[in-house]
Amino acid sequence: MNMELGIAVQAAVEGGAAIMEIYSQEDLGVEYKDDHSPLTLADKKCNDVINSYLVKTSHPIISEENRQLEFEERKDWDTCWIVDPLDGTKEFVKRNGEFTVNIALVKNGKPLLGVIYVPDTKELYVADVAQKKAGKFILNGHEVNVEDLDIDTNLIGPNKANPELVRVVGSRSHMSEATEDFVGSLKGIYEKVDIVSKGSSLKFFLVAEGKADFYPRFAPTMEWDTAAGQAICEAVGLQVISKETD
Protein backbone atom coordinates (compact mmCIF):
# COMPACT_ATOMS: atom_id res chain seq x y z
CA MET A 1 0.00 0.00 0.00
CA ASN A 2 1.50 3.33 -1.02
CA MET A 3 2.09 6.13 1.46
CA GLU A 4 -0.81 8.35 0.38
CA LEU A 5 -3.32 5.50 0.56
CA GLY A 6 -2.00 4.55 3.98
CA ILE A 7 -2.46 8.12 5.23
CA ALA A 8 -6.01 8.18 3.89
CA VAL A 9 -6.80 4.89 5.65
CA GLN A 10 -5.49 6.19 8.98
CA ALA A 11 -7.44 9.42 8.56
CA ALA A 12 -10.69 7.63 7.72
CA VAL A 13 -10.51 5.14 10.59
CA GLU A 14 -9.55 7.70 13.23
CA GLY A 15 -12.17 10.06 11.85
CA GLY A 16 -14.68 7.23 12.19
CA ALA A 17 -13.70 6.82 15.84
CA ALA A 18 -14.48 10.51 16.41
CA ILE A 19 -17.87 10.01 14.76
CA MET A 20 -18.74 7.09 17.02
CA GLU A 21 -17.89 9.09 20.14
CA ILE A 22 -20.63 11.53 19.17
CA TYR A 23 -22.96 8.74 17.99
CA SER A 24 -22.98 7.28 21.49
CA GLN A 25 -24.21 10.56 22.98
CA GLU A 26 -27.84 11.55 23.38
CA ASP A 27 -27.26 14.98 21.82
CA LEU A 28 -25.81 14.76 18.31
CA GLY A 29 -25.41 18.54 18.03
CA VAL A 30 -27.57 18.86 14.92
CA GLU A 31 -27.60 22.13 12.98
CA TYR A 32 -28.98 22.88 9.51
CA LYS A 33 -27.14 24.44 6.58
CA ASP A 34 -28.60 26.98 4.17
CA ASP A 35 -29.78 24.13 1.92
CA HIS A 36 -31.60 22.58 4.94
CA SER A 37 -29.27 19.56 5.04
CA PRO A 38 -28.18 18.50 8.55
CA LEU A 39 -24.75 19.14 10.04
CA THR A 40 -23.68 17.50 13.29
CA LEU A 41 -20.85 17.77 15.76
CA ALA A 42 -19.61 14.46 14.34
CA ASP A 43 -19.17 16.01 10.85
CA LYS A 44 -16.97 18.70 12.36
CA LYS A 45 -14.87 16.47 14.62
CA CYS A 46 -14.25 13.88 11.91
CA ASN A 47 -13.31 16.64 9.47
CA ASP A 48 -10.74 18.00 11.92
CA VAL A 49 -9.16 14.55 12.32
CA ILE A 50 -8.98 13.95 8.57
CA ASN A 51 -7.50 17.37 7.89
CA SER A 52 -4.80 16.76 10.52
CA TYR A 53 -3.60 13.77 8.48
CA LEU A 54 -4.04 14.97 4.92
CA VAL A 55 -2.44 18.36 5.56
CA LYS A 56 0.86 16.48 5.99
CA THR A 57 0.81 15.59 2.28
CA SER A 58 1.64 17.91 -0.60
CA HIS A 59 -1.95 17.96 -1.91
CA PRO A 60 -4.64 20.55 -1.12
CA ILE A 61 -7.90 19.39 0.45
CA ILE A 62 -11.47 19.90 -0.70
CA SER A 63 -13.85 18.79 2.03
CA GLU A 64 -17.58 19.30 2.33
CA GLU A 65 -17.01 20.81 5.76
CA ASN A 66 -14.01 23.04 4.92
CA ARG A 67 -14.38 26.64 3.86
CA GLN A 68 -14.03 26.46 0.10
CA LEU A 69 -11.47 28.60 -1.68
CA GLU A 70 -12.52 30.61 -4.70
CA PHE A 71 -12.54 28.73 -8.01
CA GLU A 72 -9.84 31.04 -9.40
CA GLU A 73 -7.48 29.60 -6.80
CA ARG A 74 -8.64 26.00 -7.20
CA LYS A 75 -8.88 25.78 -10.99
CA ASP A 76 -5.18 25.17 -11.54
CA TRP A 77 -4.91 22.30 -9.05
CA ASP A 78 -4.12 19.09 -10.89
CA THR A 79 -4.24 16.86 -7.79
CA CYS A 80 -6.26 17.20 -4.59
CA TRP A 81 -7.99 15.29 -1.82
CA ILE A 82 -11.79 15.07 -1.99
CA VAL A 83 -13.36 14.41 1.43
CA ASP A 84 -16.78 13.83 2.90
CA PRO A 85 -16.15 13.36 6.63
CA LEU A 86 -19.68 12.07 7.25
CA ASP A 87 -21.56 10.89 4.19
CA GLY A 88 -25.12 10.04 5.16
CA THR A 89 -25.67 12.61 7.88
CA LYS A 90 -29.41 12.00 7.63
CA GLU A 91 -28.79 8.31 8.32
CA PHE A 92 -26.52 9.27 11.23
CA VAL A 93 -29.28 11.40 12.74
CA LYS A 94 -31.75 8.52 12.25
CA ARG A 95 -29.19 6.27 14.01
CA ASN A 96 -29.50 3.46 11.47
CA GLY A 97 -25.73 2.98 11.05
CA GLU A 98 -25.71 3.63 7.29
CA PHE A 99 -23.14 6.42 7.16
CA THR A 100 -19.55 6.49 5.96
CA VAL A 101 -16.27 8.39 5.88
CA ASN A 102 -15.17 9.08 2.28
CA ILE A 103 -11.67 10.08 1.17
CA ALA A 104 -10.32 10.11 -2.40
CA LEU A 105 -7.20 11.39 -4.09
CA VAL A 106 -8.07 12.86 -7.49
CA LYS A 107 -5.82 13.91 -10.38
CA ASN A 108 -7.14 15.85 -13.38
CA GLY A 109 -10.68 14.94 -12.42
CA LYS A 110 -9.99 11.18 -12.12
CA PRO A 111 -9.77 9.26 -8.83
CA LEU A 112 -6.43 7.62 -8.08
CA LEU A 113 -7.14 6.27 -4.60
CA GLY A 114 -10.26 5.78 -2.54
CA VAL A 115 -11.12 4.90 1.05
CA ILE A 116 -14.60 4.36 2.49
CA TYR A 117 -14.98 3.50 6.18
CA VAL A 118 -18.25 2.41 7.82
CA PRO A 119 -17.76 3.32 11.50
CA ASP A 120 -20.83 1.46 12.79
CA THR A 121 -19.77 -1.91 11.34
CA LYS A 122 -16.01 -1.23 11.17
CA GLU A 123 -15.95 -2.18 7.47
CA LEU A 124 -13.09 -0.61 5.53
CA TYR A 125 -12.95 -0.42 1.73
CA VAL A 126 -9.66 0.52 0.08
CA ALA A 127 -8.97 1.09 -3.63
CA ASP A 128 -5.90 1.70 -5.77
CA VAL A 129 -7.22 2.52 -9.24
CA ALA A 130 -3.86 2.33 -11.04
CA GLN A 131 -3.25 -1.15 -9.62
CA LYS A 132 -6.86 -2.18 -10.43
CA LYS A 133 -7.32 -3.48 -6.90
CA ALA A 134 -9.95 -2.89 -4.22
CA GLY A 135 -10.15 -4.71 -0.90
CA LYS A 136 -12.50 -5.02 2.05
CA PHE A 137 -11.41 -5.35 5.66
CA ILE A 138 -13.32 -5.84 8.92
CA LEU A 139 -11.51 -4.10 11.76
CA ASN A 140 -11.58 -5.21 15.39
CA GLY A 141 -11.83 -1.63 16.60
CA HIS A 142 -11.47 1.94 15.44
CA GLU A 143 -7.73 1.66 14.93
CA VAL A 144 -5.66 0.20 12.16
CA ASN A 145 -2.10 -0.83 11.36
CA VAL A 146 -1.74 -0.05 7.68
CA GLU A 147 1.15 -2.51 7.33
CA ASP A 148 -1.25 -5.35 8.24
CA LEU A 149 -3.65 -4.58 5.39
CA ASP A 150 -3.03 -6.81 2.38
CA ILE A 151 -5.41 -5.90 -0.43
CA ASP A 152 -4.35 -8.93 -2.50
CA THR A 153 -5.80 -11.36 0.06
CA ASN A 154 -8.99 -9.31 0.59
CA LEU A 155 -9.99 -8.45 -2.97
CA ILE A 156 -13.58 -7.63 -3.92
CA GLY A 157 -15.19 -7.70 -7.35
CA PRO A 158 -18.56 -7.45 -9.11
CA ASN A 159 -20.78 -10.28 -10.33
CA LYS A 160 -21.07 -11.37 -13.93
CA ALA A 161 -24.18 -10.15 -15.74
CA ASN A 162 -27.28 -12.25 -15.12
CA PRO A 163 -30.07 -11.89 -17.73
CA GLU A 164 -32.63 -13.29 -15.30
CA LEU A 165 -32.05 -11.00 -12.31
CA VAL A 166 -30.82 -7.45 -11.81
CA ARG A 167 -30.47 -5.77 -8.42
CA VAL A 168 -30.78 -2.01 -8.19
CA VAL A 169 -29.47 -0.22 -5.13
CA GLY A 170 -31.30 2.95 -4.14
CA SER A 171 -31.04 5.55 -1.42
CA ARG A 172 -33.13 5.45 1.72
CA SER A 173 -33.34 9.25 1.58
CA HIS A 174 -33.31 10.06 -2.16
CA MET A 175 -35.58 7.57 -3.98
CA SER A 176 -37.24 9.67 -6.65
CA GLU A 177 -39.72 9.37 -9.50
CA ALA A 178 -36.80 9.36 -11.95
CA THR A 179 -35.24 6.41 -10.12
CA GLU A 180 -38.54 4.56 -10.19
CA ASP A 181 -38.79 5.23 -13.94
CA PHE A 182 -35.28 3.84 -14.42
CA VAL A 183 -36.21 0.71 -12.50
CA GLY A 184 -39.29 0.38 -14.66
CA SER A 185 -37.17 0.49 -17.82
CA LEU A 186 -35.10 -2.45 -16.55
CA LYS A 187 -38.20 -4.57 -16.13
CA GLY A 188 -38.46 -4.80 -19.90
CA ILE A 189 -34.93 -6.20 -20.11
CA TYR A 190 -34.56 -8.53 -17.13
CA GLU A 191 -36.93 -11.21 -15.88
CA LYS A 192 -36.73 -9.98 -12.29
CA VAL A 193 -35.70 -6.64 -10.78
CA ASP A 194 -34.91 -6.44 -7.06
CA ILE A 195 -34.48 -3.21 -5.09
CA VAL A 196 -31.80 -2.95 -2.40
CA SER A 197 -32.13 0.11 -0.14
CA LYS A 198 -29.03 1.60 1.45
CA GLY A 199 -27.84 5.01 2.61
CA SER A 200 -24.69 7.01 1.84
CA SER A 201 -21.71 5.51 -0.04
CA LEU A 202 -22.70 1.99 0.96
CA LYS A 203 -24.48 1.90 -2.40
CA PHE A 204 -21.20 2.10 -4.33
CA PHE A 205 -19.50 -0.83 -2.71
CA LEU A 206 -22.61 -2.99 -2.85
CA VAL A 207 -22.12 -2.87 -6.62
CA ALA A 208 -18.33 -3.15 -6.35
CA GLU A 209 -18.51 -6.35 -4.28
CA GLY A 210 -21.26 -7.97 -6.31
CA LYS A 211 -24.25 -7.45 -4.02
CA ALA A 212 -26.02 -5.16 -6.51
CA ASP A 213 -25.78 -4.44 -10.24
CA PHE A 214 -26.88 -0.81 -10.75
CA TYR A 215 -26.75 2.33 -8.65
CA PRO A 216 -28.77 5.04 -10.42
CA ARG A 217 -28.61 8.53 -8.94
CA PHE A 218 -30.88 11.28 -10.26
CA ALA A 219 -30.88 13.60 -7.25
CA PRO A 220 -28.22 16.35 -6.93
CA THR A 221 -24.81 15.18 -5.76
CA MET A 222 -21.29 16.53 -5.27
CA GLU A 223 -17.79 15.21 -5.90
CA TRP A 224 -17.22 14.49 -2.21
CA ASP A 225 -20.27 12.21 -2.33
CA THR A 226 -18.96 10.17 -5.26
CA ALA A 227 -15.15 10.36 -5.61
CA ALA A 228 -14.21 7.59 -3.16
CA GLY A 229 -17.01 5.35 -4.40
CA GLN A 230 -15.93 5.92 -7.99
CA ALA A 231 -12.37 4.94 -7.09
CA ILE A 232 -13.57 1.64 -5.61
CA CYS A 233 -15.81 0.89 -8.57
CA GLU A 234 -13.17 1.74 -11.19
CA ALA A 235 -10.58 -0.33 -9.34
CA VAL A 236 -12.75 -3.44 -9.86
CA GLY A 237 -13.48 -2.66 -13.51
CA LEU A 238 -16.82 -0.86 -13.21
CA GLN A 239 -17.77 2.54 -14.63
CA VAL A 240 -19.31 5.57 -12.96
CA ILE A 241 -20.82 7.64 -15.76
CA SER A 242 -23.36 10.32 -16.51
CA LYS A 243 -26.57 8.95 -18.01
CA GLU A 244 -26.19 11.54 -20.79
CA THR A 245 -22.89 9.95 -21.86
CA ASP A 246 -24.17 6.38 -21.76
167-191 per-position pLDDT tens digit: 888 765 556 777 778 888 888 788 8
pLDDT of residue 70: 66
pLDDT more than 90, % of the chain = 42
With cut-offs at 50, 70 and 90, classify the pLDDT of residue 198: confident
E strand spans, 23-181: 31-32, 38-39, 61-63, 79-87, 100-107, 110-118, 123-128, 133-138, 165-171
CA–CA distance, 198 with 208 (Å, rounded to integer): 14
Residues 199-235: pLDDT tens digits? 667 888 888 988 888 888 877 777 888 999 999 999 9
Are 18 and 42 in contact by the 8 Å Cβ rule? The answer is yes
